[in-house]
Amino acid sequence: MNRPIPEVLDHQSLKGILFLSFFGTLITAKCSASEAARLYYQFSIDSGIFIWLPSLILGGLVCLLYIAGPGSAFHPYWRSKQFLLPAAMIWVTVAFSIVLQLPSVVVPAMISGVLAMASFTLGHFYRLIPVKFLSAIWVFVALICLFSSNTKAYGLLAAFLVIAGAVPCGIAYLKMGKTTRDR
């Protein structure tokens, strides 16, 4: 039985989630590509402190401000303290767990696994088979990352974040904007 889409996943909230997904995948792709380059060229810097942590913390703050800021089109649930405080705590925990695991292949596999779950969940709620199919791609990427060298795993993650993350989210966001203007 198909259940109705929950009220909090309205059109404007989905549009905002797509924009934040586009933004987040680009930031993570930048960090992953930087990590791959650091490993390949054997730079001796602490990429967790100088690349990942600032990008993830600032990206998370921008996302929270985008959701809760004035003029936000998100459903009131997303702007409530009941959502924002736990989301911020989860984001900080994820950011620090990524930094502590660098440069292990666990990081690209973990990020791919989270994206697989998010794709499946959104595909289920909106009854979109292509979005559910993205979850299979992300599971495949996670498995490849686990059995690759560190450099290849981070490079592969960066490429797929752009190809299977930013591009589909950007296209969907632009299409939603066009349909909104057509109404």
* Cβ density class 78-98: b for 16+ within 10 Å, e for less: beeeebeeeeeeebeeebeeb
Within a domain: 1: no
pLDDT value of residue 183: 53
pLDDT value of residue 58: 95
Within a domain: 2: no
Has this prediction a pTM greater than 0.85? yes
Say what angle helices 11-41 and 167-182 make with each other, to 10 degrees.
160
Within a domain: 56: yes
Within a domain: 160: yes
Residue 120 · residue 135 · CB < 8 Å? yes
Query: Rounded to 5 degrees, what angle do the CA atoms 12, 18, 23 make?
Result: 130
Any idea which residue has 């060298």 for tokens? 149
Within a domain: 111: yes
CA atoms of 62 and 126, how far apart (whole Å): 26
pLDDT value of residue 181: 61
* Domain count for the chain: 1
pLDDT value of residue 1: 44
pLDDT under 50 in the chain at which residues?
A: 1-3
Instruction: Provide the domain limits for residue 156.
Output: 7-182
Question: In terms of DSSP H, where are the helices of the chain?
Answer: 11-41, 47, 53-68, 76-79, 81-101, 106-125, 129-146, 150-161, 167-182
Instruction: Please name which of 6, 14, 10 lies closest in space to residue 176, comparing C-alpha atoms.
Output: 14
